[in-house]
Amino acid sequence: MSSTPLLVCEGLKKHFPVRKGLLVERTRDWVRAVDDVSFEVHEGETLGLVGESGSGKSTTGYCVIRLLDLTAGKIWFNGREISGLRGEQLRQLRREMQIVFQDPYASLNPRMTVGDIVAEPLVVHDIGTRRSRQATVRQLLDVVGFDPSYVNRYPHEFSGGQRQRIGIARALALNPRLIICDEPVSALDVSIQAQILNLLKDLQRDFALSYLFIAHDLAVVRTMSDRIAVMNRGKIVEMGLAHDVYENPQDEYTKALLAAVPVPDPVRMRERKVERRRLRHALAEPI
Amino acid sequence: MALLEVDDLRTHFFTREGVVHAVDGVSFSVETGKTLGIVGESGSGKSVTALSIMGLIPRPPARIVSGSVVFDGRDLTKLSEKSLEDIRGSQIAMIFQDPMTSLNPTLTIGTQITETIRRHHGLSRDQARNRAAELLEEVHIPNARQRLDDYPHRYSGGMRQRVMIAIAISCNPRLLIADEPTTALDVTVQAGILDLLDELRTEHQMAMILITHDMGVVAEAADDVAVMYAGQIVEHASSEDIFNRPEHPYTEALLGALPHLESENVRNERLTAIPGRPPDLVNPPSACRFAARCVYANLGDSCTTVPPELREIRPGHLVRSAHPASERAGHREEVGAR
């Protein structure tokens, strides 16, 4: 881990307007989806961003890769401020920062072949010739464990796990330094989930990638992350080394969240149930 | 005799691509007051099993081609739709995965609860409304009486699932089938729902079938566990036995593939993935359905030629494999390492 972080986020805010009124629309209120969030991601590191639905974790990811404009706050990538980038500069940024989406059924264009999907970033950035791109695509597919002989097939012909491999190959195409993984395995069955998590771990080692790993599954986040930030209602309530956050949580919400996770061990589960009832007060269940 | 006895149930889907053997010879029983967890990955047949019990499979394309579902001495597969309707809701109730779509958005919560009560009990409007309020209180919805007049969109996901549970228990069913009841919910909300189901099962002396893909949820809530793979039960035992002494290579692999919440040094370890994916159920393998993904299938024998029977490897522990853990050399170290 080098001393200057690859990614620095400071005071990120993303507020969405809640509009009311039929004919004259007016903004009545704001949803503070991300509300003053700061963190760093170092070279080769995985920062896990964990939280429940509506906690703002995915919105944070979208803000970092600039799919959403910030309401306030600053982002530096590799020492350069990127929070205000537009147009061509923003496009150039995407060579270094990519994203893998949650739903491999919705994030691949059904009318494009597997080969075209993976080649698209190369075409957009005008990298290589048609022929050299073909070779690159085959290499990328091979790296992610997808049989390159299927380049001319369409996404619907493949299972969720295979599709997620296609999405990962596409994210790798430009040789990025940071990949934002937004719930990359939550649509997959356990046995397939393990394959994809292993792949992400292997790629990180082989290509010195940094990950911002966003997920709701606390066990998945732990197995992937060096450090973990816990989000609740738009704020990071606790951040630290994975071990510290999980073994010795300080924040009441983190404690209650961890205690709520069922573990595959009936004996241990009986103890955990007691703990979870004790901590229930920290959770305001929405009505 | 158990409250529910399913014997050699086979539900097939007759599609243009061929006959899908979705449920292929499933047998189990559920006793009053107990929870059976049915766990498996998508396509393993766990939901179709539940729908077959309820007589809710879509016909066509699906059909129960053989087997019996004996509930309280009556074979449900032989009953007319009319008699089934009387049993559904009053004797056997079901809750589904998605509390967002199981409620009608254009009717108030109160209307939707009283509908079921009046269908089965013939209460007056006022009596039904009082009963509905009681039910909402029983599933711990605050200000129950006022909230009867709200529409579903005013309820959060967890609260909607509580309403579904209230409807399900409204006629005091003897068996509750919960199909992925917490899958769409956050873990903290899930905990509340699982606590509620446990409480109701004890109070009402219900039997419960809990269908889930989540090993943690079964470990928490089930007395007995049936593991399904490719339309069949591959292992069936008490919850403690399944998790502490798994026998089937698939169960072992599934547990091995899970990332752990509570263990050290996970960051630099690879998970033990299961290679490949489940077989096509139009042409399921004629022998062991897990053989193609099984690390023990090459032990030179019958795996790829003879379909293994579900056999009792020790009292109360059933397994469908030629290579259960306790019959493999050196298995103890393996289990100990977990």
Residues of A whose CB is below 8 A from B217: 262
Whether B63 has a pLDDT exceeding 50, the answer reads yes
Q: Are A228 and A240 in contact (CB under 8 A)?
A: yes
Mean pLDDT value of segment B23-30: 95
| Portion of chain A with pLDDT greater than 70, in percent | 95
Distance from CA of B104 to the nearest CA of A (A): 18
Q: Which of A24-28, B87-91, B201-205 has the highest mean pLDDT?
A: B201-205
pLDDT of residue B333: 46
* Ramachandran angles phi, psi of A260, nearest 5°: -80, -15
With CB atoms and an 8 Å threshold, state whether A218 touches B261.
Answer: yes
Chain-centroid distance of CA B69 in Å reads 15
Rounded Cα distance between A168 and A99, Å, is 8
Greater model confidence, A30 or A201: A201
C-alpha to C-alpha distances, B120 to B90, B134, B176, nearest whole angstrom: 7, 17, 16
**Single pTM value for the model:** 0.89
pLDDT of residue A280: 78
Residues of A whose CB is below 8 A from B195: 273, 277
- B167 Cβ contact partners less than 8 Å away, ≥ 6 residues apart: B93, B112, B113, B116, B135
Structure tokens at B305: 């030629």
Residues of B whose CB is below 8 A from A222: 259-261, 266-267
pLDDT of residue B338: 39
pLDDT of residue B306: 87
With CB atoms and an 8 Å threshold, state whether A257 touches B188.
Answer: yes
- Is residue A189 less than 8 Å (CB to CB) from chain B? yes
Summarize pLDDT for A245-268 with one digit per residue, the tens.
999 999 999 999 999 999 999 999
With CB atoms and an 8 Å threshold, state whether A216 touches B186.
Answer: yes
Q: Note which residues in 33-62 of chain A have CB less than 8 A from chain B.
A: 52-53
Whether B70 has a pLDDT exceeding 50, the answer reads yes
pLDDT of residue B62: 92
Rounded Cα distance between A47 and B267, Å, is 12
For residue B84, give the 3-state DSSP assignment: helix
Minimal Cβ distance to A262: which of B156, B220, B274: B220
Distance from CA of B326 to the nearest CA of A (A): 20
pLDDT of residue A278: 85
Residues of A whose CB is below 8 A from B240: 266-267
Summarize pLDDT for A92-103 with one digit per residue, the tens.
999 999 999 988
pLDDT of residue B334: 47
With CB atoms and an 8 Å threshold, state whether B253 touches A192.
Answer: no
Task: Tell me how many helices (H) and strands (E) chain A has.
Answer: 10, 10
Q: Are B137 and B170 in contact (CB under 8 A)?
A: no
Minimal Cβ distance to B220: which of A226, A246, A269: A269
- Is residue A19 less than 8 Å (CB to CB) from chain B? no
With CB atoms and an 8 Å threshold, state whether B190 touches A201.
Answer: no
Q: What is the interface pTM, i.e. ipTM, of the complex?
A: 0.86
With CB atoms and an 8 Å threshold, state whether A197 touches B271.
Answer: yes
CB-based burial, B259-269: b 16+ in 10 Å, e otherwise: bbbeeeebbee
pLDDT of residue A285: 55
Rounded Cα distance between B163 and A284, Å, is 19
Summarize pLDDT for A154-182 with one digit per residue, the tens.
999 898 889 999 999 999 999 999 999 99
Minimal Cβ distance to B219: which of A189, A257, A263: A263
Q: Between A and B, how many CB-CB pairs are < 8 A?
A: 136
Structure tokens at A94: 């995407």
With CB atoms and an 8 Å threshold, state whether A287 touches B216.
Answer: no
Whether B115 has a pLDDT exceeding 90, the answer reads no
DSSP per position, B114-159: HHHHHHHH---HHHHHHHHHHHHHHTT-TTHHHHTTS-GGGS-HHH
Residues of B whose CB is below 8 A from A161: 277
Minimal Cβ distance to A286: which of B156, B190, B214: B156
pLDDT of residue B300: 61
pLDDT of residue B336: 40
Q: Looking at residue B50, what DSSP letter applies?
A: H
Mean pLDDT value of segment B69-74: 94
Distance from CA of B186 to the nearest CA of A (A): 6
Greater model confidence, A126 or B121: A126
Distance from CA of B6 to the nearest CA of A (A): 26
With CB atoms and an 8 Å threshold, state whether A194 touches B273.
Answer: yes
Summarize pLDDT for B266-305 with one digit per residue, the tens.
777 888 888 888 888 998 888 899 998 888 887 667 788 8
Q: Are B108 and B148 in contact (CB under 8 A)?
A: yes
Whether B40 has a pLDDT exceeding 60, the answer reads yes
Mean pLDDT value of segment A230-246: 96
With CB atoms and an 8 Å threshold, state whether B191 touches A264.
Answer: no
Mean pLDDT value of segment B223-233: 96
Rounded Cα distance between B82 and B94, Å, is 18
With CB atoms and an 8 Å threshold, state whether A243 touches B264.
Answer: yes
Residue A19 CB neighbours (<10 A): 10
Residues of A whose CB is below 8 A from B272: 194
Summarize pLDDT for B165-207 with one digit per residue, the tens.
998 898 889 999 999 999 888 898 899 899 999 999 999 999 9
- Is residue A223 less than 8 Å (CB to CB) from chain B? yes
Q: Which residues pair with B15 in a beta bridge?
A: B18
